[in-house]
Amino acid sequence: MATASLDALRAELRDLAEPAVRAQQVRVLSPADDDQLLGVRVPKLRQLARAYRALTLDDVDVLLHSRVHEERFAGLLMLAERVRSTRGADRKALADFYLARTECVGNWDLVDGSAHVVLGPWLLDDPSHLEGVLDELAASAWLWDRRIAVLSTLALIRDGQFQPTFRLVLALRQDPEPLIHKALGWMLREIGRRDEPLMVHFLDQHLAELPRITVRYATERLSPGERARFVKRRPRPHPRVSP
């Protein structure tokens, strides 16, 4: 049964709904048929997550299993609030809670708003699980598990740890989903913000293997001449020949 605070949160979400925002969400998120969009702006969701951070983990679980997109997003942001204020075994328990519910993290905005702030801090705390967790997620048939693997390394990148991202770029370079190619390029670009020579060296080594869109995303912050060097060198895929 929903608690009074959970009911209050749901009521506030509906009060904050904007039809124009919902129309934009429909365009950019391509939601599943059973995904209900209200049209609440992300900054408002973050404010609510902070205001309702005292909700129980059972309430968060209810939100994560909701068909209302913003309820799931709010639940993930509340989980992130908990992670920020915990350490050790409690943080591991929250990471396990998240990993057991990745089927609820079913769109790119949900992944991008949660992976690096829920899973990432635990991976920093306990690097002994790093390769195993990331490799398992990267091998998943669920697109969003694979994107979670990639986006969670943003926490590592911000800590100066780049090799886990490089490993995933090579492991997922042949992924069939453009959303993975874009995420790989985004994380390479984040590495380049901190160590551009290292990122450029990685591209020089692996350029022929990487998806074109990954290269484009990765090189967005390079000088125009340097960026053109990589984009022009990247071979175009051969067109398929019908049998």
Length of the chain equals: 243
Question: In angstroms, what CA-CA distances link 13 with 53, 84, 204?
Answer: 15, 23, 47
What secondary structure letter does DSSP report for 52?
T
Query: What is the Cα 214 distance to its own chain's centre?
Result: 16
- What is the model's pLDDT at position 2? 58
- What is the model's pLDDT at position 208? 93
The identity of residue 220, as a single letter, is E
Token duo for residue 26: 């429909």
- pTM of the model as a whole: 0.92
Q: pLDDT 10s per residue in the chain (243 long)?
A: 556 799 999 999 999 999 999 999 999 998 887 899 999 999 999 999 999 999 999 999 999 999 999 999 999 999 999 999 998 899 999 999 999 999 999 999 999 999 999 999 999 998 888 999 999 999 999 999 999 999 999 999 999 999 999 999 999 999 999 999 999 999 999 999 999 999 999 999 999 999 999 999 999 999 999 999 888 765 555 444 333
Helices (H), 207-243: 212-218, 224-233
Token duo for residue 165: 């991202």
Which helix or strand (DSSP H or E) is residue 221 part of? none
Crossing angle for the helix pair 163-171 and 143-158, to the nearest 10 degrees: 160
Token duo for residue 81: 């609030």
Domain map of the chain by residue range?
Answer: 1-85, 107-243
- What is the model's pLDDT at position 243? 37
Task: Considering the domain delimited by 107-243, tell me its CATH architecture.
Answer: Alpha Horseshoe (1.25)
d(CA 231, CA 81) in angstroms, rounded, equals 40
Token duo for residue 80: 């992130």
d(CA 195, CA 214) in angstroms, rounded, equals 18
